[in-house]
Amino acid sequence: MAVLVGKQAPDFKATAVKGQEFIENFSLSSLKGRYVVLFFYPLDFTFVCPTELHAFQEKLEAFHQRDTELVAVSIDSHFSHLAWLKTPKITGGIQGVEYPIVSDLNKTISRDYDVLVDGMGIAYRGLFLIDKKGIVRHQVVNDLPLGRSVDEALRMVDALRFFENNGEVCPANWRKGEKSMKADQKGLEEYFAK
């Protein structure tokens, strides 16, 4: 699995669905200047996937308050995405999801992010936090049966924003409002002294 952290996020142009609308030539580069949480999921009309897409939707405003856009990607067609968006939550659909869902029918985006499952043609549950300059600052990839923590994705956005704004680093399990530290020996000692 390729490590993309510290590298320019691979750009793409593809058809996306947002609400009930198709967006032709949706590109990652069109979001430059904002933070982006780009996440991959295996397939529309499956089981863990709708729980994740709804969980991200439930926190959409929290991401927006952090100047962060959510973008989902799967190998399904934009027509499949639209049909799934029209399907009620109670029957396994994602009706009500408002952020863009990108169609990676030719699997190039999944390959570029190295989340394509060998021999299956679907993507692992990869998540990439991309900064305002288009650099990947965090990545995590889960196996197919393991759903993600949306709260952890928000925590990572908070940590990145805190570091960029304050120059201090965020220790293990750091949460917004908690003690940070300077990235030197004295800072470490002060952190452990309290």
Catalytic residues: 49
Contact 125, 116 (CB under 8 A): no
* Residues whose CB falls within 8 Å of the CB of residue 154, separated by 6 or more in sequence, listed in order: 59, 62, 63, 66
CA 125 to chain centre: 10
- Cα separation, 163 vs 174, in Å, equals 12
Q: How far apart are CA 166 and CA 157, in angstroms?
A: 14
Long-range contacts of 80-83 (CB under 8 A, 24+ apart): 80/44, 80/45, 81/16, 81/17, 81/44, 82/17, 82/20, 82/22, 83/44
H/E element holding 21? strand 21-27
Are 138 and 155 in contact by the 8 Å Cβ rule? The answer is no
Distances (CA, A) of 37 to 66, 140, 153, 189: 11, 11, 8, 33
DSSP one-letter code for 113: T
